[in-house]
Structure 1
Amino acid sequence: MDEKEIQSFLIISSVVLFLLIMTMISLFVLFQKRKNALLLKNEFAKKHFEQEISKAQIEIREETFRNISWELHDNIGQLLTLAKIQLQSDSSINEVKGTLDKCIKELRVLSKLINPEALKNMSLEQAISDEIDRFNRLNFIKSQLTIKGEQIKIDSKIEIVFFRILQEFFSNTIKHAKATHLDILLDYQTDVLTIMAKDNGLGFDLNKQKHSGIGLTNIKNRAKLVNANATFISEPNKGTELTITYHLNNENSYHSNS
């Protein structure tokens, strides 16, 4: 190989080596950009998740305090007024005592709700059970909670989201659906938790735009936030059914994102 060929070879080799180095640098820079973008995305998702959990907690407290305010004004207020009337009308001591005993019982239930630690440490099953008991005690609607399978503890933040979703469903059932019965099911299977809430109220047409707006969208988005799926079944005059499906092995993916 003469000197000219050697020079040509060296030039070509240098060019190839330069291009190879530039390609590696470009790939490294691209990798870093994608890595940083993924980290930012995960950080944003984590902050969004925490914000939604805080929002759900605030809404639960607000709903609880609204209920407390209503019960103090209407329920307990009425009981005290009745006790006063009984005293003024010379009713028997047992009648007055019975009214005051009922009033004290109602106050004890409310004191439990007022305690922030009780709200914080309450399980999903207990929170739903207390809501059902309140509906039945105040004659809002005939309600029933059924639990199937062996109960499995799930992350408290996920329970907060599920309870808030159910609160929204309950509120709509009582205020707008004109239902007389409300049934809730917690079905624990090997790797799936299914939550069903069903009323016998007015129902609605799922195909109509006005019914697929912010209410249903909000519930579905909140379920999606914790890797769950929320679906509705409803027809006019045939009630509404909400089903939340949560794969228990999603706990791992949830913790990796939070």
Structure 2
Amino acid sequence: MKNLDVKILDKIVKGTVAAVEKSKSQIFDIYEAARGETEHVRRDVERIKQETAEIIFKVDELERKERRSRLRLMEVSRNFRNYTEVDIKAAYEDTSNVQLELAMARLQEQNLRRQRDDLEIRLKVLKSTVEKAEELVSQVGAVLGYLGNQMGTVVTQIESLQASQIFGAKIIRAQEEERRRVAREIHDGPAQAMANIVFRAEVCERLIDTDIARSKHELKDLREQVRVALRETRKIIFDLRPMTLDDLGLVPTVRRVLDTMKERCGIFSEVIIIGEEKRLDSHIEIGLFRIIQEALNNVEKHARASAVWVRLDFRLSVVAAVVEDNGRGFAAAENLGSESFGLMGMRERINLLGGELTIKSNISKGTRIYAAVPLKS
């Protein structure tokens, strides 16, 4: 009976610690996601407020301009004998054009005000979520600390059992981070473009019966915006899972990413191959590609570099990748405790592959990222 009691107690302790640890991980994921989304929404609110202020100023200017044009039209109408037919027609067309432009600006102002109000409400909810999640993380951490102090020997025994859970949690966090990244890209790219397309389509509907020439011009711009949205959508699809990675392998896919980056922002790029190029296991190719891809994203977004080099070193028992740029760099030693999600994602991926990741960067001297993955013999 005594042995049975010990087993039951052991089972209860293990279940309790595992549940608390899992809850802490899930709450932390919620906290990190909410904090990232809060910052993103805060930037959107600032941008929308700026755009709203600009359009309000524009509406005020157009209202003054519209009043002047109406007064001009009234004067011409009252004294039509003193004006030529050309003057009368010009006054009418000027008033009509100003009124149309004013209507479009007011519609845009309404849309921006609505977006601003929605974002401010969303930001308030997110801030509340972050505060609650932060408090919960602290509370759960205190519980775990208590369990750790009081049941140190039990915790030591269950570490091996938790290892598999932690491994799975890392995979889940990487997947969720990827989903958040895709959601942000869709929100900032195609979603914004489609919203603008809807707005421009409304403008075309207003113009088509009054100004054919201008409506054709608007339709031409609308077509270009659709092309941009389609291009951004294709980029997101490629980032999710480039087909060339499965069909051709790591090197051709990296070359394509660099070519696309050069076309997009003009950064000089070069791929250097050391050793004999070969296909790798699928999970190694996708893992290394994601690390290289994230490094190149950082170069494009933050480094302000004019050139980037990618070196792939194929050896018998290891494959290594080096991404180096001549950008502004950062104080790597100061960022060890507060790395970006991108750098954290690289480290998680390299850990899952059982490899090694080294990041060297100095202010104004560029950044060098080295990743090495062992190969099965």
Superposition TM-score, scaled by structure 1 size: 0.57
Task: Tell me which residue corresponds to 1:179.
Answer: 305
Provide structure 1 residue ranges, at least 5 long, that are not aligned to the other structure.
1-36, 253-258
Aligned length: 207
CA distance in 1 between partners of 2:354 and 2:181 (Å): 25
Task: Tell me which residue corresponds to 1:142.
Answer: 267
Structure with more helix by fraction: 2
C-alpha contact (below 8 Å) 2:359/2:367 kept by paired residues: yes
CA RMSD of aligned residues (A): 4.6
Task: Tell me which residue corresponds to 1:213.
Answer: 337
C-alpha contact (below 8 Å) 1:56/1:161 kept by paired residues: no
CA 104–142 in structure 1, closer or farther in 2 if over 3 Å, else same: same
Task: Tell me which residue corresponds to 1:152.
Answer: 279
Aligned partner of residue 329 in structure 2, secondary structure:
coil
CA 110–195 in structure 1, closer or farther in 2 if over 3 Å, else same: closer
Task: Tell me which residue corresponds to 1:16.
Answer: none
CA distance in 2 between partners of 1:80 and 1:132 (Å): 33
Alignment of 1:40-189 (within 5 A): 42-73=160-191, 88=214, 90=216, 99=224, 102-103=227-228, 105-106=230-231, 109=234, 112=237, 118=241, 123=246, 125=250, 131-132=257-258, 135-139=261-265, 142=267, 144=269, 146=271, 148=273, 149-156=276-283, 158-159=284-285, 161-189=287-315
CA 54–183 in structure 1, closer or farther in 2 if over 3 Å, else same: farther
Q: Of residues 292, 313, 316 in structure 2, which corresponds to 1:190? A: 316
Residue identity over aligned pairs, in percent, reads 21
CA 143–227 in structure 1, closer or farther in 2 if over 3 Å, else same: farther
CA 197–41 in structure 1, closer or farther in 2 if over 3 Å, else same: same
CA distance in 2 between partners of 1:130 and 1:89 (Å): 38
CA distance in 1 between partners of 2:229 and 2:235 (Å): 10
Quick one: higher RCO (CA 8 Å, sep 6+), 1 or 2?
A: 1
C-alpha contact (below 8 Å) 1:144/1:183 kept by paired residues: yes
C-alpha contact (below 8 Å) 1:223/1:244 kept by paired residues: yes
Which sits farther off after the overlay, 222-231 or 99-108?
A: 99-108
The Cα shift of 1:163 comes to: 4.5
The Cα shift of 1:106 comes to: 1.4
The Cα shift of 1:133 comes to: 5.5
CA distance in 2 between partners of 1:146 and 1:245 (Å): 17
Provide structure 2 residue ranges, at least 5 long, that are not aligned to the other structure.
1-154, 205-211
CA 110–65 in structure 1, closer or farther in 2 if over 3 Å, else same: farther
The Cα shift of 1:200 comes to: 1.8
C-alpha contact (below 8 Å) 1:185/1:197 kept by paired residues: yes
Task: Give 1:169's aligned amino acid.
Answer: A
Q: Of residues 347, 350, 353 in structure 2, which corresponds to 1:223? A: 350
CA distance in 2 between partners of 1:97 and 1:160 (Å): 37
Task: Tell me which residue corresponds to 1:256.
Answer: none
Superposition TM-score, scaled by structure 2 size: 0.42
CA distance in 2 between partners of 1:66 and 1:187 (Å): 33
Aligned partner of residue 243 in structure 1, secondary structure:
strand
CA distance in 2 between partners of 1:121 and 1:53 (Å): 24
C-alpha contact (below 8 Å) 1:198/1:240 kept by paired residues: yes
Q: Of residues 200, 205, 219 in structure 1, which corresponds to 2:326? A: 200
Structure with more strand by fraction: 1
C-alpha contact (below 8 Å) 1:79/1:103 kept by paired residues: no
CA distance in 2 between partners of 1:96 and 1:221 (Å): 43
C-alpha deviations, 1:127-163, integer Å up to 9, x for none? 7566546544543x6264637332322242x555444
CA 38–129 in structure 1, closer or farther in 2 if over 3 Å, else same: farther
Task: Tell me which residue corresponds to 2:361.
Answer: 234
C-alpha contact (below 8 Å) 1:76/1:106 kept by paired residues: no
